[in-house]
Structure formats: structure tokens, C-alpha cells
Structure 1
Amino acid sequence: MVTVPGKNDVSARQSLHKAVTRWRADRGYTSADLIRTAGEALTDGLDSPSLRVLAASSTADSTWDIRELACRALEELEIRTSGAAPWGTVVTADGEVVRRQAVDSLRLDVAQEVDGKHVGPHVRVYVNDVEMTAAGAGFGMDPYDVLVPTNRLLATTQPHTIPIARCRCTSYSCTGTDVTITRDGDVVHWDWSRKIPMDRGVTFDATHYDNEVTWAAEDLSWETAPYRKAGRLVLTTMDRDHLLRYGLRPAFVFGGSEVFGLVLEINDDYQIIVKTPWLDRTPEDLAAAVCTTLTTPPSEWQATWHAIKGEVDDPPTIAGPAWQREEI
């Protein structure tokens, strides 16, 4: 028999829905936890064929079998999964999909250290005063990844997904936390993906949200090294349309006391490295010099290259006579 939602089983339905959500998100919630919650749901009055089998399952059973049972139990009980709900909504205990309310707070800052070690600037994200970047993949993104050349945290009515955390090894490709940002009238929704830091999406008051992300973009305290400021100026003022004519897109910048470097990519085939000596120049003057170089044909640059994929001996077709192969 499949039960109809009522006052007495609301909490049971909500607990079961939350348990399946946590288990599927792999947040340390084990099969034993899910099986125990299924048994508690039966005791509290919920009933369906798959829920009975799930409650009688063993932790030695196949993960795929348990997953299938959990999904079937929710379907039989007509509890809609959060993964099937649109961005910015929440599934209530009786399976109804409703718009989330602004009950959460957002705070951003940029730190230079993790666990007492200097690792460079990274944007930390706090929701309700809990650091989501640490709870997710573990380590905030570089300001260049979320604030430069444009503020990717700005919310629009068109949902867009950005990275907000990366692995503690500093590699986003290793593991990462993404968030889909959606403006919905007077609120802004965040919905997590990849390594999720909590088992629900969050919603902020739009005015407070706008103030916080605008402040974060205007705070340049992370530019403690000259190349950081030069990099921001280069990335925000370069002629990207000119570069695109040659299939070039900026990837990242790097620097030291003597040389500033810009790395560009041609699709997933090559990385092109353009190095510019500081020569006692200010960040503003160096950035201007780099941007001037980038307005000329690439064949005129002093640049190096290396192939991203496999062993490729031939340079890019846009290479000039002064180009050399980079030894990685």
C-alpha cells in the first residue's frame, strides 16, 4: 500500500527525502544510515514495496541496488527528489516544489594562507558564517577565477554556473565545488554541484547579495605582489577580439621579481607563453606594454609554445620566427 501524505507522516517523509539526498551526494552518509532511516520511516507509518525491501537491506548489498531501491521508494511514495526540481526551489515534505525564501546570509573575503601556510590569494565563501569553500572541495578559488576580468558572482535571471572551490592541492580539475547562481525577483539562489558543502541549496536577499559581491570585486587587498595588479590590468584591458581572430584565449598569468608572464591557449592544442621583463616599471606601465604587444600579429611576438596533448613537434600555425618551444 502506498500512503497518502498526512499530518502524522510529514516528518517521516521529510527525513526519508533528506536521507536519500545526503546519501546520493556522498557526504559521508553511509548505506547503513540510509537503511536505518528507511526502517524508521516504516515505523513512523510510511509504506511502499521498495521501502520495505530497502529497510531490510544489508550494507553488503550492491550500492547500485540500494540506489535503485531508494529511488523507487521515493517514486512510490510520490516524494519528488531535489535533483528533479528546478534551480531555486525546494521539495517540501509532501513532495511539493516551492520557491525558496531568503533565509541565508553570504559573506566573502580573500585570504592569503591556509592552515598557516602562504598559498596565495583565494576567495573564501561563508554561508550563515560557515565556510563553504572548506566544507566543499576544500580551498577557495583564485580571484582571477571568479572576480577578474568580470565579476562572475553577479546574479542574473539566466542561471549560470561557476567554480567556487578547488582541491587543497590547489587544482580545480582534481576536485571542485560549483554553484549555479540565479536571480529570482528579490532573492538570489545558489544551487551546489560537484563536491557539495551542504545538503540543500541556499537563498539570499538580492540587495544584500548584490552589495556583498560588488564589495568583493572592489576589494583589491589581494594584490600584494606587483604581478597581481599587472595581471588584473592585463586581463581587464586586453583586446580579446583581436586575440580571438587568431584563436587565442587568455588562460592565466604568473610572475616574479624580474618577469611577468601571460599564458594563452589555442583550443586544447597549445599553450602560448608571452614573457615581459619588469625593467623597473610600475604594474600600470608593464600592463600597458603587454597589452600593446597583444595588439600586434602573434607572428611578431617573442613567445614560447608547448603542445597540451601528446607529443607534437610542429609549432602552432600562427607562430613567428622568434617563437621557441617551451621546455616543461
Structure 2
Amino acid sequence: MSQDVIEHIAPVINSGFIGEGPKNVLFENELKRTLDYQNVLTLNSGTSALHLAYHLAINHDRDAEIITPSMTCSATNVPIVANGARIVWADIDPISGNIDPNHLESLITKKTKAITVVHWGGNPADLDKINQIAHKYNIKVIEDAAHAIGATYKGKKIGCHSDYIAFSFQAIKHLTTIDGGALAIRLNDDFKRAKLLRWFGIDRNASSKHDLRCEIDVKEAGYKFHMNDVNASVGLSNIKFLDDLIAKHRINAQYFDLEFSGYQGKIKLANQTANSKSSYWLYTIHVDNRDELMARLSQEGIMSSKVHSPNHRHTMFANFNRHLPATDIFEKTHLCIPVGWWLTEDDRQKIVEKVIRYAK
């Protein structure tokens, strides 16, 4: 959190206007600059961004299917069922954790409306291959980029490659607005529609001739998904540090890559996608004794985590269950160790020493 965040928030709190207003516009403009993309909408959460993307892709089709990975936060997939669509689980690469494009075509039916891509830990998936498949079958690609702001794929920032790209600014992301999110949208017509839908479907640029508070005809029911000026002010305070924070994550990841490189027999590193740069929101390793290693690291005062568990095992998704062998492999061996900007040189050395000592 920026040290001057209170200076940004106080004028908004005392202004008499704390809803979606001028600070939100400023923050959206900063995001457009950061992502190098124009069609960006701020929202109240990354989950809302995904929900809105699914709404646009499904377009009221109650027989719709969405192809999506199971190894992710449940926030990726809850909005699918909330939109009335069916989930079709896609398997992943057992080391990177990203969706495996080689299995996608066998999952596509006449009901398929979109493929959801999660950039695990900030490592971009193979977007060229995925978008080629989607284009072939005239379906949409939705990127869950909650981990991936600042990541690049073939020289372009994540946010520029697919139909819809959802970002999260939740409390522990690289960029936080305390809670919040954004949606980048390829087509101008979709962008205009989404801008209405984020506030009930109301056109806030049009008003009654006699009463500012009375909206003109609302053509499509929307949501209360907008970001307010308080959250936007927090974002404006923090976004100026984003590049520096991501750079520090990458430096820490490079350090671990080098230190673990001689121990590939017992510590496998998550492979990074060619021609891309991860944001390294997570640093993932694979070991055969994952649970034992977690316990050992905890005893040494080192936090580690699986971060997410396979969604297809949740009761709420029981109707969509299928066998996902690569997901099962990933889930049994993966572990995320600290990679954040706050690590000191001593922290990094300790993490490396203990992981090497206890991994099997």
C-alpha cells in the first residue's frame, strides 16, 4: 500500500461524492496506459469482470457451454454457473498449471461459447494456439488474468490478445484498490454494452430533461459492478509502483531459478511459456513430498501454499465432473513459495536452503 494513499482518499471522502466519478475516470485512463489498450472498464472485483465477460460471451443462451480449467480459484468458475451456463473442464499442463491447448478441440461442441484461460501465477498461456482454435470455431476467449497484470506475451502486455481479459485488484494482488477489478474488451460494441451493464444497464451519460436522477429507458438488465472513487483513488496511489513491484518479483524468481537449477532431480520448476514474461505473482515448484515440505517450511517460519485446489471436486460443480489426469498430477506435487517484492537477500537464501534440504 502506498504511503500517500490517505492523501488520495481524504479529498474524495470529504468531497460529497464517493460513487463512480472523476477519480474512476482517471484510474481507468492510467490502466489504459499501463495495459497499452483503450477498451478498459474498471469494476468492483475481478469476479465481476469475469461475470460480465461470461454474460457477453453467452449472450443469454441458456444451453451455453464454457470450456475452463479446474485448477484455479473458484472465482473463475462460479460466474459461469451464475450465468446459467454449463462447465466443460479442460485439463492443464502438469508442470506449468496452464490450460493445455492440445486437448481443446475435442471439448468443443455446437454449444461452446468460450474458452477460459487462466495464466497460472502470472505465466501467460499459449494464447496464439488457443485463439487460433477459438477463431476456427467462432467462439470467444476469456482470459482470467487475476495473477497476470504486467505480464507480456510476444512483446505485448496481457490485456491485448483476446476477446475479454479480466484483472483483479483484490487485497493481495500486485496492484490493489482494496477490492476491485477491470475488464479489457476487444470489440467496441461489446465495450459499449459492458459499460452500460456495469451499472444496471443505465446510460449514465444520458438523463431525463427534467430530473437528473431519473434514467431514460433501460434496454438490458445489468449489474451493480462499477468501481467507486474511493477504490479508484487507492488504485491511483498504488499504480505508480506497479512496474517496480513486478520487477522485484521477477528478480526474486530469477534468483530461485538459478539456485534450484542444479536440483532438477527433486525440484521441478514450472516451465515458462516461450516469448513471454511472467509477472510472477506466484513462484511454483513441484516436489514429490509436497505436504511434508510444506510442514517443514512452516516449522522454519517460511510460508508456502498450494494457493488453489481443483474446482471440479467441489460439490457446487458436481454436475460437470470429469477425469482430469494432468490436473491431478499438478495438484499432488505443486507448491508456491514466497516470491514477493518484500523478500530480503537473507529471506531468499533461507528459502532456498530449506527447500533444498527438505525436498524429496
Q: How high is the TM-score relative to the length of structure 2?
A: 0.23
Whose helix proportion is higher, 1 or 2? 2
Whose strand proportion is higher, 1 or 2? 1
Which structure carries more relative contact order (alpha carbon 8 Å, separation 6+)? 2
